[in-house]
């Protein structure tokens, strides 16, 4: 068995995948295997009992939104009773930032990989601060989500359809030349997203005032495109999954309690370990002791060769996640040490248009003792609060070691 060859095949599939945003639909009607009694969540499998504060808050908020519970305690009882099941987004070709909770009635983006035919899904982005994905579930948080479902989602759906689809690999390629890295910094990408949709929104909205409201919401949210980009990265990494003999990572995800990875040549197995707490910058009034553990599926961006791996092209991000522009360059340079290829479509002008480091090889991670670098938002540890900062974190090394041992077992090396 030629591992190098298998890895090249996997990473070529990852970068050849062309993810097109094709539409928005209700999760229940759109995501394969979605059920009325099911909530999807970020990271590897988790129970209510072991769930972190922000995950619990988001689950409670989602069940209140669905009309299944009237309060946090009712929601908790419902999940503990087993009447509502919890499954990872990743078990359903989906991804969600932070808590990543997707409920049956929520609208989700569909992103189709035109090259290989698979489709991935993500929910809509609510903006910053007190939002469901960071575990906030106060009435204004839920009201915003209801307004998004009522007003934003239908217009966005019509606009995406009228646009004929948006090539998200190309969009991110352009954004990487505009100071984004595609994970924590999506300022340019979100504006490119708005540019692509604004004319169609103006046509699709019932009136000018509604179009204006939607354009204000999109324009005011520099993370608007994060979720479509995450679904694009999921569509790309999934195309690289299941390659016999490949040691490349195709999933990195956290649920606030455990970090989990999956490896292309190791099927559906999760390799997990307790999450770390990110180091970073906090919003006024908050500090490290308030922080929840690392959480969210957004590490799919690093898995696909963007996010922290593309930080060299996004030096201004350090004002948000801490560090210096030199640290940002060094982060990308270090990631070349543990990846199988340089991306054929995503390049970094500052590095002479070198392709981003792509395709994390568990062998290199373990041999060189270098864990991937990840940019991330930081949630408050308690349910109901929300985002309190942003920073940098590395996944626990022990997952990569466990995966490598499993690989040796599986392939009799």
Interacting residues toward its own copies by CB under 8 A: 177-180, 187-188, 191-192, 194-196, 198-205, 207-209, 211-213, 215-216, 219, 315-316, 318, 324-326, 349-353
Q: Rank residues 2 and 207 by Cβ distance to its own copies and give the closer one.
A: 207
Q: Rank residues 188 and 251 by Cβ distance to its own copies and give the closer one.
A: 188
Q: Rank residues 138 and 350 by Cβ distance to its own copies and give the closer one.
A: 350
Q: Rank residues 82 and 209 by Cβ distance to its own copies and give the closer one.
A: 209
Q: In whole angstroms, how close is the CB of 200 to its own copies at the nearest point?
A: 7
Q: Rank residues 263 and 318 by Cβ distance to its own copies and give the closer one.
A: 318
| Strand partners of residue 122 | 95, 109
Handedness of CA 210, 213, 216, 220 (dihedral sign): negative
Q: Rank residues 55 and 201 by Cβ distance to its own copies and give the closer one.
A: 201
Q: Rank residues 205 and 248 by Cβ distance to its own copies and give the closer one.
A: 205
Q: In whole angstroms, how close is the CB of 173 to its own copies at the nearest point?
A: 11
Q: In whole angstroms, how close is the CB of 181 to its own copies at the nearest point?
A: 12
> Position of tokens 């990110």?
278
Tokens of 35: 């059920």
3-state secondary structure the chain: CCHHHHHHHHHHHHHHCCEEEEEEEEHHHHCCCCCCCEEEECCCCCCCCCCCHHHHHHHHHHHHHCCCCCCHHHHHHHHHHCCCEEEEHHHHCEECCCCCCECCCCEEEEEEECCCCCEEEEECCCCCCCCHHHCCCCHHHHHHHHHHHHHHHHHHHHHHHHHCCEEHHHHHHHHHCCCCCCCCCCHHHHHHHHHHHHHHHHHHCCCHHHHHHHHHHHHCCCCCCHHHHHHHHHHHHHHCCCCCCCCEEEEEEEECCEEEEEEHHHCCCCEEEECCCCEEEECCCCCHHHECCCEECCCHHHHCCCHHHHHHHCHHHHHHHCCCHHHHHHHHHHHHHHEEEEEEEEEEHHHCCEEEEEEEEHHHHHHHCCCCCEEEEEEECCCCCCEEEEEEECCCHHHHHHHHHHHHHHHCC
Q: In whole angstroms, how close is the CB of 179 to its own copies at the nearest point?
A: 4
Tokens of 373: 């670098």
3-state secondary structure 12-55: HHHHHCCEEEEEEEEHHHHCCCCCCCEEEECCCCCCCCCCCHHH
Distance CA 27, CA 293 (A): 27
Q: In whole angstroms, how close is the CB of 176 to its own copies at the nearest point?
A: 9
Q: In whole angstroms, how close is the CB of 132 to its own copies at the nearest point?
A: 24
Q: In whole angstroms, how close is the CB of 328 to its own copies at the nearest point?
A: 8
Q: In whole angstroms, how close is the CB of 155 to its own copies at the nearest point?
A: 11
| Strand partners of residue 347 | 355
Q: Rank residues 221 and 255 by Cβ distance to its own copies and give the closer one.
A: 221
Q: Rank residues 50 and 195 by Cβ distance to its own copies and give the closer one.
A: 195
Q: In whole angstroms, how close is the CB of 205 to its own copies at the nearest point?
A: 7
Q: Rank residues 70 and 220 by Cβ distance to its own copies and give the closer one.
A: 220
Q: In whole angstroms, how close is the CB of 199 to its own copies at the nearest point?
A: 4
Q: Rank residues 188 and 366 by Cβ distance to its own copies and give the closer one.
A: 188
Exposure of 366 in the CB half-sphere (CA atoms within 13 A): 15
Q: In whole angstroms, how close is the CB of 218 to its own copies at the nearest point?
A: 8
């Amino acid at each position: 068995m030629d591992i190098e060859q298998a890895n090249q095949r996997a990473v070529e599939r990852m970068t050849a995948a062309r993810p097109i945003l094709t539409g928005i639909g209700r999760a229940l009607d759109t995501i394969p295997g979605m059920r009325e009694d099911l909530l999807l969540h970020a990271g590897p499998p988790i129970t209510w009992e072991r769930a972190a504060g922000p995950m619990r808050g988001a689950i409670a908020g989602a069940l209140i939104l669905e009309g299944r519970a009237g309060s946090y305690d009712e929601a908790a009882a419902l999940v503990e009773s087993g009447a509502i099941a919890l499954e990872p987004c990743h078990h359903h070709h989906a991804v969600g930032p932070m808590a990543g909770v997707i409920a049956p009635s929520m609208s989700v983006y569909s992103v189709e990989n035109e090259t290989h035919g698979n489709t991935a899904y993500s929910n809509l982005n609510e903006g910053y601060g007190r939002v469901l994905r960071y575990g906030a579930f106060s009435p204004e948080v839920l009201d915003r989500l209801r307004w998004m479902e009522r007003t934003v989602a239908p217009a966005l759906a019509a606009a995406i359809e009228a646009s004929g689809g948006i090539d998200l690999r190309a969009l991110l390629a352009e954004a990487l030349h505009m100071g984004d890295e595609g994970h924590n910094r999506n300022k340019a990408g979100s504006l490119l997203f708005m540019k692509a949709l604004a004319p169609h929104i103006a046509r699709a909205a019932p009136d000018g005032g509604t179009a204006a409201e939607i354009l204000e919401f999109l324009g005011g949210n520099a993370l608007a495109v994060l979720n479509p980009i995450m679904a694009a990265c999921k569509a790309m990494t999934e195309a690289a999954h299941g390659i016999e003999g490949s040691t490349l990572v195709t999933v990195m995800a956290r649920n606030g309690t455990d970090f989990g990875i999956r490896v292309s040549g190791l099927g559906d197995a999760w390799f997990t370990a307790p999450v770390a707490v990110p180091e970073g910058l906090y919003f006024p009034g908050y500090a490290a002791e308030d922080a929840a553990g690392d959480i969210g599926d957004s590490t799919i961006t690093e898995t696909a060769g963007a996010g922290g791996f593309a930080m060299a092209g996004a030096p201004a991000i350090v004002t948000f996640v801490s560090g210096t522009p030199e640290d940002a360059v060094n982060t990308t340079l270090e990631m070349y040490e543990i990846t199988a290829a340089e991306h054929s479509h995503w390049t970094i002008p500052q590095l002479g248009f070198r392709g981003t480091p792509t395709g994390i090889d568990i062998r290199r991670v373990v041999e060189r003792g270098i864990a991937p670098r990840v940019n991330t938002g930081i949630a408050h540890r308690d349910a109901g609060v929300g985002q309190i900062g942003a920073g940098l974190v590395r996944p626990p090394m022990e997952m990569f070691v466990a995966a490598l041992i499993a690989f040796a077992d599986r392939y009799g090396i």
